[in-house]
């Protein structure tokens, strides 16, 4: 496989490549190994829910209540275990198979209204230390973006509510923009193309197994945030993620 390696750096806050000159090299045919063979990270791709915003417990509590009203008696913990990291479309399809019928046409609209209100009431907070970690990476010249299974509207709401939107404005990508969501690599490859970066130059920060699987399938390094009580540590590691428990560790993990 041929790839382009750029001898340059990024303006981390804008994602623009600076002083880059192209050198063509030959890479491994196994793209999943590329991320382990090169040390440089030019782009950090952040998942949103559970990585940037601490939304998983609130969102899955709302999801669980909505499913119980439809006859599917899953706790919030079971909902997290089965559906965390998947696109909403995929999650709803799984639930419909379990229930044995289509969910009502207004199911999603009603559930999201309840979920968004719970975000306002709690209120929803950033994951501890993540804002400082993002700013440190940007100050070091590393480009950043968001690539999430969530819809653009949901990310606009949650990142705006938590004060993180301006850190990523214009560099936010959703599974709704690609044919297949996580665990397929489409979304992360879409983000890399949009940011003008090779997959092996990317580090993905994820908290869910499908996201780690998608990153590895894309040939990207995967850092698996496991600081939340609901983190599936063994599964994240088995999927190819490097575990870490505190966002304060993130800049050193990326830059070392």
pLDDT in tens, 57-90: 999 999 999 999 999 999 999 999 999 988 888 9
CATH number of the domain encompassing residue 13: 3.40.50.1000
Domain membership of residue 77 as a residue range: 56-121
221 and 105 fall within a common domain: no
Number of domains in the chain: 2
Maximum alpha-carbon separation in the chain: 59
Instruction: Name the domain boundary from 71, 89, 121.
Output: 121
82 and 152 fall within a common domain: no
* pLDDT(188) > 50: yes
Pair 201, 41: CB distance under 8 Å: yes
For the packed helices 56-69 and 107-121, what is the interaxial angle rounded to 10 degrees? 140
pLDDT (average), residues 174-196: 97
174 and 136 fall within a common domain: yes
By three-state DSSP, how is residue 104 classified? coil
133 and 115 fall within a common domain: no
By three-state DSSP, how is residue 157 classified? helix
76 and 47 fall within a common domain: no
Centre a 10 Å sphere on the Cβ of residue 159 and count the other Cβ atoms it contains: 24
185 and 246 fall within a common domain: yes
Percent share of the chain, pLDDT over 90:
82
Lowest mean pLDDT among 7-11, 48-52, 132-136, 187-191: 7-11
Give dist(CA 158, CA 165) in Å, integer: 8
Instruction: Name the domain boundary from 121, 146, 174.
Output: 121
* pLDDT(32) > 80: no
Residue in the structure block whose two tokens are 């705006």? 160
Cis (ω within 30 of 0) for the bond into 229?
A: no
pLDDT (average), residues 227-236: 96
Instruction: Name the domain boundary from 100, 121, 142.
Output: 121
CATH number of the domain encompassing residue 98: 1.10.150.240
7 and 99 fall within a common domain: no
pLDDT computed for residue 40 by the predictor: 87
Q: Cα 10 to the chain's mean position, in Å?
A: 21
109 and 140 fall within a common domain: no
pLDDT computed for residue 87 by the predictor: 84
Centre a 10 Å sphere on the Cβ of residue 115 and count the other Cβ atoms it contains: 22
250 and 168 fall within a common domain: yes
Cβ-count burial of 234 within 10 angstroms (0-12 exposed, 13-18 middle, 19+ buried)?
exposed
74 and 166 fall within a common domain: no
163 and 96 fall within a common domain: no
DSSP string, 11-46: ETTTTEEES--EEEEE--S-GGGHHHH-----EEEE
10 and 112 fall within a common domain: no
Give dist(CA 107, CA 95) in Å, integer: 12
pLDDT computed for residue 25 by the predictor: 30
């Amino acid at each position: 496989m041929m790839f382009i390696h750029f001898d340059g750096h990024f303006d981390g806050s804008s994602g623009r490549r600076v002083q880059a000159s192209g050198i063509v090299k030959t890479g491994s045919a196994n793209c999943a190994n590329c991320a382990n063979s090169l040390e440089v990270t030019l782009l950090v791709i952040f998942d949103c829910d559970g990585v940037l915003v601490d939304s998983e417990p609130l969102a899955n509590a709302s999801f669980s209540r909505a499913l119980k009203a439809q006859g599917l008696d899953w706790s919030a913990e079971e909902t997290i275990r089965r559906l965390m990291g998947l696109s909403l479309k995929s999650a709803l399809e799984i639930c419909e198979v379990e229930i044995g019928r289509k969910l009502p046409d207004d199911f999603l609209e009603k559930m999201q209204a309840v979920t968004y209100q719970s975000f306002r009431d709690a209120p929803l907070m950033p994951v501890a230390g993540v804002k400082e970690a993002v700013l440190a990476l940007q100050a070091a010249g590393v480009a950043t973006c968001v690539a999430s299974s969530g819809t653009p509207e949901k990310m606009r709401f949650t990142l705006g509510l938590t004060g993180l939107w301006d850190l990523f404005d214009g560099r936010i990508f959703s599974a709704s923009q690609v044919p297949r969501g996580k665990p397929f690599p489409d979304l992360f490859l879409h983000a890399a193309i949009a940011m003008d970066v090779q997959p092996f130059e990317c580090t993905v920060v994820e908290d869910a197994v499908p996201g780690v699987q998608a990153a590895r399938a894309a040939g990207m390094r995967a850092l698996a945030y496991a600081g939340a009580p609901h983190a599936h540590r063994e599964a994240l590691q088995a999927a190819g993620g490097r575990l870490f428990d505190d966002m304060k560790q993130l800049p050193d993990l990326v830059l070392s």
